[in-house]
Amino acid sequence: MVILGLSPIVHESAVGLVVDGKLVAAAAEERFSRIKSDGAFPDRALQFVFDKTGLSPADVDHVAYAALPFAKERLRDVVGYARNVAYVAQASDRAATKLAHLLNYTRNLVLHNEWATWGGTQRRIRCELEKWDLAGKMVYVDHHLAHVASAYYTSGLDRCLAVSLDGYGSGQAGSFYLGQGGKLRLLSPIPYPHSLGTFYRRVTQALGYRPNRHEGKIVGLAAFGDPTKLYAEVRARFDLDHEDYYRFKSAADPWFEKRLAAAHAPSDVAAAYQRVLEDVATLFVHKWVRRTGVKDVVCAGGVFANVKLNQRIAEIPEVERLFVFPAMSDGGVGVGAALALQADLRGLEPNRLPHVYLGPSYEEERIGRALAASGLRYRRSDDIETDIVDNLLARKVVARFDGPMEFGPRALGNRSILYPALEPAVNKWLNERLGRTEFMPFAPVSLDERATELYENVEAVRHTAQFMTVTTDCTPKMRAESPAAVHVDGTARPQLVKAEINPSLYKVLKLYERRTGIPTLINTSYNMHEEPIVCAPEDALRAFRDGRLEVLAIGNYLVQSSEAA
């Protein structure tokens, strides 16, 4: 059975192809269009999944779309709104705050784009699918079921708590499910507007960053602040005296974050929001872990892009293993919809996702042509990994482009920039060169076989740490050897590499370790400021020039900038 999974066409549109329950190809439209978080209909990504698999639209049995039909979604919105009005009326909060919340919530509901256009987005999707002869095959899947399915069916864990948390989807802001024997059973939805995604998005915006894009910067900034200064005030917005889910009082109050941001240091505001987010989410995950007696937790939804939150969940005493779907945001929810539909129609056991190298790859001949047209100096290498390590030891920044592109937000060695993790100063000068502002240091990539020497409590997150989805505390050895990859709070967000998953990256790390004794490098994504990660060889060559990088190892070719030569 061939199921095409489609993310909502709002932001991060993406597609994935599931063949007989196995994810065989997936990519986001932004990588092809070169527009960050592109929400256009994913024509280019669709073409890619067909090109890669040799299948055609006629071979597709169903198109799983991670949303409910228009009328059903709006009905949930209205029911949620009515319940929230009743809840807010009795909640313990200041009257002015309640009023501000209700007025803004009412306004947002009435002005909701889907109301205004009466289902315009869904009509547009059908229209676009018609062009591919796929409109008749469309099946709607609840957004949060799709999120938890993405995590459950790729975790390899048979019995676990499956949690989704995001801003909004299908009238809800999250859900708790129990995954068991290949089936997902809803324990409790988290109705909108009780949204931790919205909570964090609002502070991102109030601190002057782009919502739905720069939340990761707030996570990094938080480590520099004092969480205790504003904790009580921010925490008081939540009502935690329930067993099913937290209530977010006056969630749509438009002034709260703005007032805090105007009066306090950004790092203290970020620190309080981060701590409250961690405490609220972890408290309810813990409650459900105790109620169900499960030992494993799997997560998806945009809130789980928060790597520090994920560490806190992994540290819940009863939790033995945590898995976060690598494309945890809405870019991955289409894949989840496809997996949920497969499970519904044919049954599906959870299988351990081996890797996310699911995107396009390019033949040597195509790379050679792009190089010849670039005017850059290059040569073919007989041993590209040794050349990479020689350059790293000479303290050159090495961009690496190789094999299939990663699916999801992280570059995992095939579209990455590598550098030794020895001097913390690299975070400043390399980010400046790439036109980025970051508060988190670059992330480390380490040999999997050295994980327990470098990262604390890593067994609980060993699978998910293949995908850079969680931070861990660093051991003294890691802090001493690779200080550039350790944050001020002593944590890092590792990628663990095994030989059988990425042989070339493994070989680079192994050679580097042999010559330095250190099994870790810095791995940051290969892209320029606010651009998507590079996809094709031409993107890599352009970013190489724009970033004034020193060395590019593209396939088996080595390119050196004229300044570095």
- C-alpha dihedral (417, 423, 427, 430), degrees to nearest 10: -50
Given the DSSP bridges, would you call strands 2-6 and 14-19 parallel, antiparallel or unpaired? antiparallel
Question: Which is closer to Fe ion, CB of 128 or CB of 330?
Answer: 330
Which residues make Cβ contacts (< 8 Å) with residue 316, sequence separation at least 6? 282, 285, 286, 289, 297
Contact by Cβ (8 Å): 84, 155: no
- Nearest approach, Cβ of 117 to Fe ion (angstroms)? 21
Question: Which is closer to Fe ion, CB of 26 or CB of 434?
Answer: 26
Question: Which is closer to Fe ion, CB of 334 or CB of 359?
Answer: 334
- Can you give the binding site for Fe ion, defined by CB under 5 A? 166, 169, 330
Question: Which is closer to Fe ion, CB of 172 or CB of 427?
Answer: 172
Q: Classify 53 in phi/psi space as left (phi over 0), alpha (psi -120 to 50) or beta.
A: alpha
Question: Which is closer to Fe ion, CB of 336 or CB of 360?
Answer: 336
- Nearest approach, Cβ of 23 to Fe ion (angstroms)? 18
Contacts of the segment 544-551: beta carbons below 8 A, 24+ positions apart: 544/376, 544/399, 545/376, 547/399, 547/433, 547/434, 547/435, 548/433, 549/397, 549/399, 549/417, 549/433, 550/391, 550/396, 550/397, 550/398, 551/388, 551/391, 551/396, 551/397, 551/398, 551/399
Q: How far is CA 507 from the centre of its chain?
A: 27
Question: Which is closer to Fe ion, CB of 5 or CB of 404?
Answer: 5
- Nearest approach, Cβ of 408 to Fe ion (angstroms)? 14
- Nearest approach, Cβ of 146 to Fe ion (angstroms)? 8
Question: Which is closer to Fe ion, CB of 166 or CB of 215?
Answer: 166
Q: Starting from the edge strand earliest in sequence, which strands make up the sheet with 183-191, in order?
A: 183-191, 172-180, 160-169, 296-300, 321-324
- Nearest approach, Cβ of 364 to Fe ion (angstroms)? 38
DSSP labels for 86-144? HHHHHSSS-HHHHHHHHHHHHHHHHT-HHHHHTSHHHHHHHHHHHHTT-GGGEEE--HH
Q: Classify 71 in phi/psi space as left (phi over 0), alpha (psi -120 to 50) or beta.
A: alpha
DSSP labels for 410-445? ---SSEEEEEES--TTHHHHHHHHTT---SSPPEEE
- Nearest approach, Cβ of 304 to Fe ion (angstroms)? 10
- Nearest approach, Cβ of 17 to Fe ion (angstroms)? 20
State both tokens at 308: 């520090």
SS3 readout for 479-505: HHHCHHHCCCCCEECCEEECCCCCHHH
SS3 readout for 10-37: CECCEEEEEECCEEEEEEEHHHHHCCCC
Question: Which is closer to Fe ion, CB of 169 or CB of 537?
Answer: 169
Question: Which is closer to Fe ion, CB of 166 or CB of 550?
Answer: 166
Q: Classify 277 in phi/psi space as left (phi over 0), alpha (psi -120 to 50) or beta.
A: alpha
- Nearest approach, Cβ of 168 to Fe ion (angstroms)? 7
Question: Which is closer to Fe ion, CB of 5 or CB of 169?
Answer: 169
Question: Which is closer to Fe ion, CB of 29 or CB of 166?
Answer: 166
Residues in the chain: 565
Question: Which is closer to Fe ion, CB of 339 or CB of 549?
Answer: 339
- Nearest approach, Cβ of 67 to Fe ion (angstroms)? 10
Q: Residue 387 and residue 389: Cα distance in Å, rounded?
A: 5
- Nearest approach, Cβ of 330 to Fe ion (angstroms)? 5
- Nearest approach, Cβ of 148 to Fe ion (angstroms)? 11
Count Cβ atoms below 10 Å from residue 425 Cβ, excluding itself. Answer: 9
Question: Which is closer to Fe ion, CB of 142 or CB of 387?
Answer: 142
Helix (H, G, I), strand (E, B) or coil at 298: strand
Question: Which is closer to Fe ion, CB of 169 or CB of 413?
Answer: 169
State both tokens at 73: 């979604």
Q: Residue 354 and residue 351: Cα distance in Å, rounded?
A: 9
- Nearest approach, Cβ of 237 to Fe ion (angstroms)? 22
Separation in Å, CA 527 to CA 25, 221, 407, 427, 536:
22, 22, 15, 15, 12
- Nearest approach, Cβ of 333 to Fe ion (angstroms)? 5
Residue nearest to Fe ion (CB): 166
- Nearest approach, Cβ of 301 to Fe ion (angstroms)? 5
